[in-house]
Amino acid sequence: MCSLYVDAGYLLSSAALRVTGTSLRSGVHVGYTPLIDALVRQAESMSQLPLLRVHWYDSAKDGVPDLQQQRIGELPKVKLRLGRFGMDGQQKGVDLRIGLDLVTHARNGAADVFILISGDDDLTEAVEEAQVHGVQVILLAVPTKEDKPHGISRHLMRAADGLETLPPETVDQTVTKVEMLPPTPQPVVVPPAGQPQVKATPRDLAGLGKPGALQPSPVIVNSAATGREPQATAEHENLVELAEQIDSVVINVLTTYRKSASAQELAELKDGKPSIPRDIDKALLTDLSDRRGEFDLSEQVRHKLRAQFWKRYDEVS
């Protein structure tokens, strides 16, 4: 028998990144039944064994499943395993549940081959412990736009017995981009007689990524000895690159959210300022981490990222 372990956070955010350019899960529609059916077929093909069960791991408020999660848990051979959201909006308990299940199921001989859909470095030790009990653990990654494995920790990759990538069509046929909602008609304000009328020009968020939006003042080093032109320091170049990366991530996330959010959600976003909803904040942090190749962003970078989000939001509101 084989058994499938699905980190839904990794699967759906990676799929959203492939489809929309950002990991914001609300930016995509997911056909869960055909997606899970495709995952089962892939697991059985990889292992050449029948499937015992799909273990689906996700987060929920207070650990209580929402309507969609309830439906997933009611699918045949699917076991729903939920963590919760912490005070900071980050998921809690999901990695621990996956790790404990891997080790417990391996110890009990539940299956011969475990297929793990996740890229989290924190699962490395659990994978190694499961292998001690004679189980093969094979990673199944989500493909990027270039059809390469996305977001797999090198430690986890080295620990596993193999790495394969989902067929691109599995994602492309079951995960689709949310289309732009019809715009809400806005009242036309007529200026008093004699006062010039200024027409607002609609701007799509995708066109807002102007270079230098967050660029710091240059740090110039003068060279009296060589007489060369003043050069910007490496520190300045790094800050400029960071600013451009932050701005690009913010634009992608904000564009996707505006396309997928309801009028009520947009109003709640505005009313909740300066707090950023956890799904948006997670997408911002995940996308910037992926762009920079850094697992843990500094508090200074997080502050810049969130500040730029509200700056861009105000520019188009």
Q: What pLDDT, in 10s, does the model give residues 294-315?
A: 767 888 888 899 898 888 888 8
Q: Match 């058994």 to its residue by tokens.
A: 3
Round to whole Å and give the CA distance between 109 and 228: 70
User: The tokens of 316 are what?
Assistant: 């188009």
3-state SS assignment for residue 4: strand
Beta strands in the chain (DSSP E): 2-7, 28-30, 51-60, 78-85, 91-92, 113-117, 136-141, 162-165, 175-177, 220-221, 231-232
Residue 194: its pLDDT value, please?
Answer: 55
Contact yes or no for 2/149 (Cβ under 8 A): no
Rounded-to-integer distance, Cα 116 and Cα 122, Å: 13
Q: Which pLDDT score, from 0 to 100, does residue 112 have? A: 96
Domain definitions of the chain by residue range: 2-177, 206-316
Place of tokens 């948006």: 280
Residue with the bigger pLDDT between 196 and 75: it is 75
Q: What's the pLDDT score for residue 57?
A: 96
Mean pLDDT of the chain: 82
pLDDT tens for residues 272-282? Answer: 888 888 888 88
Q: Is pTM, for the whole model, over 0.75?
A: no
CA gap 61, 276 in Å, rounded: 17
* Closest residue by Cα to residue 216 from 308, 313, 127, 136: 308
- How far apart CA 186 and CA 279 sit, in angstroms, is 28
Beta strands in 61-159 (DSSP E): 78-85, 91-92, 113-117, 136-141
pLDDT at 7 (0 to 100): 96
Confidence of residue 192 (pLDDT cuts 50, 70, 90): low
Task: Give all strands of the β-sheet with 2-7 in edge-to-edge order.
Answer: 91-92, 78-85, 51-60, 2-7, 113-117, 136-141, 162-165
Quote the CA–CA distance of 250 and 283 in Å, as a whole number.
9
- Could you please state the CATH topology (level 3) that the domain comprising 2-177 is classified under: Rossmann fold (3.40.50)
Query: Over pLDDT 90: what percentage of the chain?
Result: 45
> What separation, in Å, do the N-terminal and C-terminal C-alpha atoms of the chain show?
55
